[in-house]
């Protein structure tokens, strides 16, 4: 079989706070920022650190620092080699062959270094069989349906042993795909794609990833303590630098501590009290932005907008939805919005990148949206001659955690001024919100889309997966994405993504309102800590600390 050799990688507290650093060797003439303890606070217990099974957002950062797969991302979203030494892709895009590094090992606290076992191709085979096995109930299994026989296995029609993931030998792993998948390399950087040692897994007797005794690490750090009491405080996880990590010389920190809180507000408060080196939050960081003691990275990763129940006869009328869209003055509404929200005219949020730049810089969203036109809105609505009781019964269902409710109310008030009928807001707890969406128990709902990765295709695939829920035919979108997969010219690809957005927005099944910001904040004395805003994982592998900003 002929392969394309890739010469470049795809671009795509129980520990006293006074312990600021731990030296790993002799004293140094000049501080290079390495050898320190780094602290981070998370809003809840990870509960489970089984990477193939867990979908707990609190586990993302923990897993990202203790486990590693074939590939990893850097701070710029580029795909780098990790557990793999090299890889090749066949010309038809259906076969991926990875050569593994021969110095990757499994390690855990209390283990003698001489007893550490190497990570082999068979560990990856077992991990992917677990991932696609329906008995695992893996939340990210459907992301890997391009692998040969994956669909049949997940549906229970084929055995996991038939999966197209083959260990040719201990150091060679081969993936056979049933169809080309442009995102496959990106998928292999995710936590769920890390290896799993079968012998150790079986030895845990169903408790894999539930305690420090049932965890093996192959990443830059290994778990030394997991203390959690559901009724107490002082909960934490601690990690030490893994001396057996294949790139241990390049790992800067000596140790990590993750303090476990019970809510995001407690996390925000803990960081304000200077008990942590960094924080990930949606709370507007005004005091940190104005201080030279902190660095703030802002990413608009989520798009909020209105969706309409496709079973509601009133809302099935596209002209009615167009009237609502034309009656939204986004710029005026921005003045009333929480500072963490900005006006959205398109679907793809600004954090999504294309060739290293924000997609929204290259493809402005404003021309895509229905412009504010109050006269047009009134005329569209008047022509419908809808009974008053049909309109007054409509409500916008929102989760009570939504932080921009006042701005949304002003949109409702604007509609009342234009149409002389009122569409109100119904705020419910998040659990009820999710259930009612699933049950179709809503007329209009505030809904958000967030890509799984930093590329445009990731979000568009989410839209296609939700096509029935939104009430659209995904055929045209699928055709557009297939064309993108076979397009090499950058300008054509960019135009195809813009066309996909336009297809969705012209149907008015989703009316975008706001992009929501996510803020990653760290002290100015720390460097090279970075966050993936889409998975919300924080990476400490390269983190450094200096005595001065």
* CA-to-CA dists, residue 424 to 207, 317, 360, 403, angstroms: 48, 19, 32, 17
Give me 268's structure tokens. 């925000």
CB 236 within 8 A of CB 270: no
Element (H, E) at 447: strand 444-449
**247 backbone dihedrals φ, ψ, rounded to 5°:** -120, 40
And the tokens for 303? 């798009």
User: Can you tell me the distance from the alpha carbon of 346 to that of 532, in angstroms, rounded to the nearest whole number?
Assistant: 22
Domain range annotation of the chain: 8-12+35-292+524-545, 299-518
Mean pLDDT of 131-138: 95
Q: What pLDDT, in 10s, does the model give residues 229-251?
A: 988 888 999 999 999 999 999 99
The rounded radius of gyration (Å) of the Cα atoms in the chain is: 25
Helix, strand, coil share (%) of the chain residues, nearest 5: 30, 25, 45
Give the per-residue pLDDT at 387: 73
Half-sphere exposure of 319 (CA within 13 A, CB side): 10
Average pLDDT, the chain: 90
Residue 30 binned pLDDT confidence (cut-offs 50, 70, 90) = low
Instruction: Give the percent of the chain with pLDDT over 90.
Output: 75
Dist CA 43 CA 262 (whole Å): 5
Tens-place pLDDT, residues 258-274: 999 999 999 999 999 99
User: Which DSSP category does 119 fall into?
Assistant: P
In this model, does residue 18 exceed pLDDT 50?
Answer: no
Rounded to an integer, the average pLDDT of 135-160 is: 95
Q: Are 527 and 33 in contact (CB under 8 A)?
A: yes
Q: Which CATH architecture is the domain 8-12+35-292+524-545 placed in?
A: 3-Layer(aba) Sandwich (3.40)
pLDDT score at 479: 87
Query: Alpha carbon of 95 to those of 159, 166, 194: distances in Å?
Result: 21, 11, 19
Per-residue pLDDT tens for 368-396?
A: 989 999 999 999 999 987 776 778 889 99
**Is the model's pLDDT at 227 over the cut of 70?**
yes
Question: How does residue 77 score in pLDDT terms, banded at 50, 70 and 90?
Answer: confident
Between β-strands 530-532 and 357-358, what pairing exists: parallel, antiparallel or unpaired?
unpaired
Average pLDDT over residues 68-77: 93
Task: Tell me the pLDDT tens digit for each residue of 397-409.
Answer: 999 999 999 999 9
- The pLDDT of 430-435, averaged and rounded, is 95
pLDDT in tens, 336-374: 999 999 999 999 999 998 877 899 999 999 999 899 999
* Phi, psi for 239 (deg, rounded to 5): -135, 150
CATH number, span 299-518: 3.10.105.10
How far apart, in whole angstroms, are the C-alpha atoms of residue 19 and residue 236?
A: 16
Question: What is residue 549's predicted lDDT score, i.e. its pLDDT?
Answer: 63
Rounded-to-integer distance, Cα 42 and Cα 271, Å: 11
Least confident range of 2-6, 151-155, 341-345: 2-6
Tokens of 225: 């303590």
Token readout for 249 is 């010389």
Q: β-strand 235-241 against 255-260: which pairing, if any?
A: antiparallel
The answer on pLDDT for 26 being more than 60 is no
pTM (two decimals): 0.87
pLDDT of residue 489: 65
235 phi, psi to nearest 5 deg? -85, 140
Report whether pLDDT(2) > 60: no
Cα separation of 59 and 42, whole Å? 9
Alpha-carbon gap, residue 132 to 217, rounded angstroms: 22
389 burial type by CB count under 10 A (0-12 exposed, 13-18 middle, 19+ buried): exposed
Structure token pair of residue 19 = 């312990």
User: Tens digits of per-residue pLDDT, 252-309?
Assistant: 999 999 999 999 999 999 999 999 999 999 999 999 999 999 999 999 999 999 999 9
Using CA atoms, how far residue 144 sits from 154, 186, 187, 192, 246, in Å, is: 10, 11, 8, 10, 27
Sequence-ordered list of residues with C-beta below 8 angstroms from that of 129, at least 6 positions apart, any chain:
153, 160, 161, 163, 165
Whether the pLDDT of residue 28 is over 80: the answer is no
Q: What percent of the chain has pLDDT over 70?
A: 93
pLDDT band at 7 (very low <50, low <70, confident <90, very high): very low
Q: What's the CA gap between 240 and 67, in Å, rounded?
A: 13
CA angle 164, 169, 172 (to 5 degrees): 70
- Is residue 72 classed exposed, middle or buried when 0-12, 13-18 and 19+ CB atoms within 10 A define those classes? buried
């Amino acid at each position: 079989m002929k392969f394309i050799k890739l010469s470049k990688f795809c671009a795509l507290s129980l520990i006293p706070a006074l312990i600021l650093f731990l030296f790993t060797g002799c004293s140094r003439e000049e501080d290079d920022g390495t050898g320190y303890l780094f602290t981070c606070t998370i809003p809840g217990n990870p509960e489970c650190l089984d990477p193939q099974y867990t979908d707990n957002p609190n586990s993302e950062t923990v897993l990202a620092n203790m486990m590693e797969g074939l590939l990893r991302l850097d701070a710029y979203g580029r795909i780098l080699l990790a557990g793999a030494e090299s890889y090749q892709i066949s010309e038809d895009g259906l076969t991926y062959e990875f050569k593994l590094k021969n110095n990757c090992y499994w390690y855990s606290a209390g283990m003698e270094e001489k007893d550490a076992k190497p990570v082999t191709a068979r560990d990856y085979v077992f991990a992917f069989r677990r991932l696609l096995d329906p008995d695992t109930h893996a939340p990210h299994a459907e992301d890997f349906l391009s692998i040969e026989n994956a669909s049949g296995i997940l549906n229970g029609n084929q055995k996991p042993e038939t999966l197209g993931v083959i260990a040719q030998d201990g150091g060679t792993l081969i993936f056979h795909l049933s169809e080309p998948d442009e995102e496959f390399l990106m998928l292999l950087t995710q936590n769920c794609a890390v290896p799993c040692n079968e012998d150790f897994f079986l030895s845990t007797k169903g408790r894999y990833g539930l305690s420090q005794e049932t965890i093996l690490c192959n990443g830059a750090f290994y778990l030394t303590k997991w203390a959690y009491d559901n009724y107490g405080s002082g909960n934490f996880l601690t990690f030490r630098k893994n001396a057996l990590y294949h790139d241990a010389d390049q790992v800067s920190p000596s140790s990590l501590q993750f303090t476990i809180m019970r809510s995001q507000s407690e996390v925000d408060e803990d960081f304000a009290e200077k008990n942590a080196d960094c924080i990930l939050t949606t709370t507007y960081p005004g005091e940190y932005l104005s201080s030279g003691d902190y660095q703030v990275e802002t990413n608009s990763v989520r798009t909020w907008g209105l969706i309409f129940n496709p079973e509601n006869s009133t809302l099935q009328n596209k002209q009615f939805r167009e009237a609502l869209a034309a009656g939204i003055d986004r710029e005026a509404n921005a003045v009333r919005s929480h500072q963490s929200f900005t006006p959205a005219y398109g679907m793809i949020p600004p954090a999504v990148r294309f060739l290293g730049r924000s997609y929204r810089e290259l493809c402005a969203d404003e021309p895509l949206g229905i412009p504010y036109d109050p006269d047009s809105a009134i005329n569209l609505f008047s022509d419908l001659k809808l009974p008053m009781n049909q309109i007054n019964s409509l409500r916008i269902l929102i989760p009570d955690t939504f932080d921009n409710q006042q701005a949304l109310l002003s949109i409702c008030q604007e509609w009342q001024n234009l149409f002389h009928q009122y569409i109100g807001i119904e705020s419910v707890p998040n659990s009820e919100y999710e259930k009612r969406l699933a049950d179709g128990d809503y007329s209009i709902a505030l809904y958000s889309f967030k890509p799984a990765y930093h590329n445009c295709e990731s979000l568009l695939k989410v839209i296609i997966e939700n096509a029935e829920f939104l009430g659209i035919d995904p055929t045209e979108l699928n055709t557009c994405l297939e064309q993108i997969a076979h397009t090499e010219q950058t300008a054509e690809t960019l135009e195809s993504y813009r066309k996909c957005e336009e297809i969705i927005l012209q149907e008015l099944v989703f009316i975008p309102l706001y992009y929501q910001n996510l803020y990653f904040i760290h002290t100015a004395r720390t460097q090279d800590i970075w966050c993936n805003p889409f998975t919300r994982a924080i990476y400490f592998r390269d983190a450094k600390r200096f005595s001065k900003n």
